[in-house]
Amino acid sequence: MHPCVDPGMDSMPSPYFPVRHSILDEAALIERVLSRYALGRLIRCRLFRRSMSDAYLVETPDETYFLKVYLRGRHSREAIEAEIAFVNDLADHQIPVAAPVRDRQGRCLNELNAPEGTRFAVLFDGVRGEEPRETSLQHSRRFGRLAARIHNCADRLNKRYDRWHLDEGYLIRDPIRYMEPYLRHRAADLNALCQFGDDLIAELRALLGKEAPEYGICHGDLHAGNARLDRNGELVLFDFDSFGYGWRALDIGVYRVSYDWMDLSRECKAVKARFWDAFLEGYNAERPLGKNELEAVALSLPIRHLELMGLTIRYGSPREGIHWISDEYFDRHIRWFKRWANEYRYY
């Protein structure tokens, strides 16, 4: 036997090396998954985007769909079933969302035997239209109204869904915990980041409790990239992958901060204020915000920043590698947090 060969290899239970994240073959998805649906003649299925899930663009001569293949380990089967149920409930109440498509057997959820283990897939109606622009006051006004309708509808449903809480643990503590292994040689910066997180949590708790209507079901990722204007000009929301229970002020705060969120200039803040006022006009027409909720929205920018850093480290590094998680990366972002705390919030 060659000296570099592990003598235990022959006893391995599988001839394949373990896989963390696979890219499922498009032709196989057509044959094994999409063939279960009454879609007519398929033109093609192509990998569209990899993010918190793998999205495949599915096209027929008449319609467009998106097949969402969930990452293994991000959501349980029960959590994905809850997403399907909630989106269907919204659609049943005339909320414009991209709804799940049922197969010929009436099922929405597909279980796939991927190399890394069981993954789940759901086919959704596609919305192939213009992406709304935050800087369009009309679009922002419509987005605010739609966000409020979703929050109101969720409260009226009065149902419990098996989903996580988008609370201080998920939004602040967990992201800092994911950063910690990369900051062990920078104890002062890690301690400062932990203190920054504690201060944000204290401010949140002083402003908001965890009772309805301030706290309840949230979309979790309310930005313009997750909506389209359909052929009738109606705003349609999709991608409920992050939905769960949280503060509505922070849910709508995502929309406020998603435009050039790294830009802390006075000029950018002034631009945001214009379309944010339009968003609030639409939102308040359906669900008026309280004074404390409006104050809490101001905390959305650093909280969203922490959340996105945590998500990219947790889910991005296993697929893309850690080459980008460098001292320069943390230098840039820690400077950002300091500038927000010392300047931006007081402009």
Nearest Cα to Cα of residue 62 among 35, 39, 45: 39
Domains of the chain, with CATH numbers?
13-125 (3.30.200.20), 137-346 (3.90.1200.10)
Q: What is the model's pLDDT at position 14?
A: 65
Nearest Cα to Cα of residue 268 among 171, 343, 342: 343
pLDDT under 50 in the chain at which residues?
1-10
In tens, the pLDDT along 59-116 reads: 999 999 999 999 999 999 999 999 999 999 999 999 999 999 999 999 999 999 999 9
| Cα gap 287→152, rounded to integer Å | 7
**Per-chain mean pLDDT for the chain:** 94
Sign for the CA dihedral angle at 330, 335, 336, 342 comes to positive
Q: Report whether 45 contacts 56 (CB < 8 A).
A: yes
**Residue 201 parent element (H or E):** helix 187-207
Q: What is the model's pLDDT at position 9?
A: 39
Nearest Cα to Cα of residue 194 among 207, 208, 179: 179
